[in-house]
Amino acid sequence: MLVAVVMLCILVFILIAYIAFIQKQLRSINRQLDKRLSENTRQPLTIDLFNKTINKLAININLCLKLEEKQRLEGIREQKQFKELISNISHDLRTPLTAIKGYQQLLEKETLSNTQLEKLHTAQKYTDELGDLIEHFFEYSYLITARVEPSLEKINLTNLAIDCVLSYIGIFEEKNISVNIEETPPIYVLGDKNMLTRVIENLLNNCAKHSLGDIDVKIESKSKARITFINPVNPNININVDKLFHRFYTGDSTRNKSTGLGLSIVEFLVEQMNGDVGAYLDTKSNKIAIFFEVPLFI
């Protein structure tokens, strides 16, 4: 009986030691996985264990990690190839477009009738629109694929907005449009200056293209900083504000004129800075308001 008890005690001790050894190896696997996550290393898992199940687990984890690394490298390679493709397409499209503009300028110097000159100016208008669309397309494609990280810093949003508006005064004066900015104390936000500048410029450019009158710009500080651009629009155009930021959204289906690509860039950049975008339409005054919000600097 004593021998049986001793043997049982020895067996229990061995089992406890074996369980402790398994737990040690599991903790080692967890530490190695934590190290891969925190230090971004690519080191495979290593274990010292004769348990087939744990060995199989480690082998399968290493296979998954190896497959993930292979997919990551393939993604980087495909991203690089896509950027090169975008660059090549950009060059291929800009070259003939530049030639078209050049020939249009030469034609403008010729002696043309009023009807011919009017047709030429119409062609120039659509050529410029095509150029803007191409630029927006490549900018959007680059932003989506490059995964540019914002450089967040303290920015005086009020001053930045005023500077951007002043840079567009010449464009608005050509269209006989006034811009009214409500005076507000300086509002500081946590954002990327280049991204914010691009966002404001895109929204000003959108107003310059589609506004039928004077533009109001409101700068507010609530839970977030908000800038709203308000302008009158054609009441005959059915605008869906829920789709306004969608790529290539067309408000005027009869003319198939796209308005959403520049706004899609706005949405993407604002979201990169942990902000939001939105729009609403006042059917009584026939005015549309487009706004974006970014976190305040605290």
The domain locations on the chain are 14-147, 153-294
pLDDT for position 117: 87
Which range (37-51, 91-105, 145-159) has the least confidence?
37-51
Q: Do the bridges between strand 215-221 and strand 225-232 make them parallel or antiparallel, or are there none, so unpaired?
A: antiparallel
Terminal-to-terminal C-alpha distance of the chain? 76
Ramachandran area for residue 176 (φ above 0: left; ψ -120 to 50: alpha; else beta): left
Q: Which of 125, 132, 129, 146 is nearest to 201 (CA)?
A: 132
Q: Is the per-residue pLDDT at 41 higher than 60?
A: yes
Two tokens, residue 268: 């993407």
Domain 153-294 bears CATH identifier 3.40.50.720 = no
| CA distance readout (Å), 88 to 18, 83, 93, 246 | 62, 9, 9, 26
Q: Which of 138, 144, 128 is nearest to 267 (CA)?
A: 144
Cβ atoms of residues 227 and 292 within 8 Å: yes
Which range (56-65, 83-92, 283-292) has the least confidence?
83-92
Strand runs (DSSP E) across the chain, as ranges?
Answer: 153-156, 179-181, 188-191, 215-221, 225-232, 250-252, 257-258, 276-282, 287-294
Q: Which residue has the tokens 């500081």?
A: 188
Predicted confidence (pLDDT) per residue in 164-178, tens digit: 999 999 989 988 999
pLDDT for position 279: 92
Cβ atoms of residues 270 and 197 within 8 Å: no
Q: Which of 168, 155, 241 is nearest to 201 (CA)?
A: 168
Predicted confidence (pLDDT) per residue in 229-274, tens digit: 999 988 877 777 777 887 655 555 444 454 456 788 899 899 999 9
Main-chain dihedrals φ then ψ at residue 256, nearest 5 degrees: 55, 40
Q: Is 199 helix (H, G, I), strand (E, B) or coil?
A: helix
Q: Which of 195, 165, 292, 178 is nearest to 231 (CA)?
A: 178
As a whole number, mean pLDDT of residues 147-158 equals 88
As a whole number, mean pLDDT of residues 76-98 equals 77
Cβ atoms of residues 194 and 261 within 8 Å: no
pLDDT for position 251: 56
pLDDT for position 196: 96
Distance separating alpha carbons of residues 187 and 220, to the nearest angstrom: 8
Q: Which of 198, 77, 96 is nearest to 145 (CA)?
A: 77
DSSP letter (8 states) at residue 298 = -
Q: How far is CA 255 from the centre of its chain?
A: 28
Q: Which residue has the tokens 């549309």?
A: 288
- Please report which confidence band the pLDDT of residue 26 belongs to, taking 50, 70 and 90 as the band edges: confident
Domain 14-147 bears CATH identifier 3.30.460 = no
pLDDT for position 180: 92
Other CB atoms closer than 10 Å to residue 290's CB: what's the count?
22
pTM greater than 0.75 (yes/no) = no
